[in-house]
């Protein structure tokens, strides 16, 4: 093989490796839980417990293997239906509780939003007051605040308001 073939094969191997790494990074699976995690095992436990009791009872009664397996299979199906019924009942009775919790959560969010708005309004008012005080302090420091004895460039001065005879001047 020539040097070019070796370089091309090395580059191809590197490209393939980087593609595989990118493919692995891009493959992210999302799992959706259809049933509530607290209730999804009810059926399994009902089937296990019920069939366990049936199996032990039939074993102690000395049933034949064929009859024992048939009874066990039928009991599994019956306890599957009973377990599903329990799951449905629990889900049905938990729905109003979930609705109440959602309503309470929405109420709490609304209260928190209102309190945040009130707090923002108070902070804005406080900021405006501080800015006004700061501006007043700056004007007082610079001497820009007009007092009754200061000369007003747009009107006549207050000091000469009581003088009526100006013939002396």
pLDDT of 10-21, one tens digit each?
666 677 667 666
Residue-level pLDDT at 28: 64
The predicted structure's pLDDT at residue 97: 85
Residue 161 lies in a domain: no
Whether 145 is covered by a domain: the verdict is: no
CA dihedral 147, 151, 154, 155 (to 10 degrees): 90
User: What's the pLDDT score for residue 6?
Assistant: 55
Q: What angle is formed at CA 65 by the lines to CA 63 and CA 80, rounded to 5 degrees?
A: 90
Our count of domains for the chain comes to: 1
Q: Residue 80: inside a domain, yes or no?
A: yes
The verdict on residue 1 lying in a domain is no
**Inside any domain, residue 7:** no
Q: Which stretches of the chain drop beneath a pLDDT of 50?
A: 145
Q: Is residue 81 part of a domain?
A: yes
Q: Give the model confidence (pLDDT) of 50-61 as tens digits.
A: 999 999 999 999
Decide if 108 is inside a domain: yes
Full domain range(s) for residue 112: 35-140
CA gap 78, 53 in Å, rounded: 13
pLDDT for residue 82:
95
Domain membership of residue 20 (yes or no) is: no
Enumerate residues 6+ apart whose C-beta is below 8 A from 83: 42, 43, 44, 45, 46, 47
CA 144 to CA 138: how far, in whole Å? Answer: 9
């Amino acid at each position: 093989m020539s040097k070019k073939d070796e370089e091309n094969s090395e580059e191809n191997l590197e490209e393939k490796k980087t593609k595989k790494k990118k493919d692995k990074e891009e493959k992210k699976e999302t799992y959706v839980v259809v049933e509530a995690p607290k209730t999804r095992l009810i059926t399994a436990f009902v089937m296990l417990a019920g069939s366990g009791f049936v199996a032990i009872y039939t074993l102690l009664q000395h049933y034949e293997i064929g009859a024992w397996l048939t009874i066990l299979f039928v009991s599994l199906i019956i306890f599957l239906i009973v377990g599903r019924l329990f799951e449905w009942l629990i889900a049905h009775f938990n729905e109003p509780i979930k609705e109440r919790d959602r309503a309470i959560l929405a109420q709490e969010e609304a209260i928190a939003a209102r309190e945040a708005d009130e707090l923002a309004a108070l902070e804005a008012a406080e900021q405006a007051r501080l800015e006004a005080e700061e501006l007043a302090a700056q004007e007082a420091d610079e001497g820009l605040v007009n007092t009754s004895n200061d000369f007003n460039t747009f009107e006549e001065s207050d000091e000469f308001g009581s003088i009526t005879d100006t013939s002396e001047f």
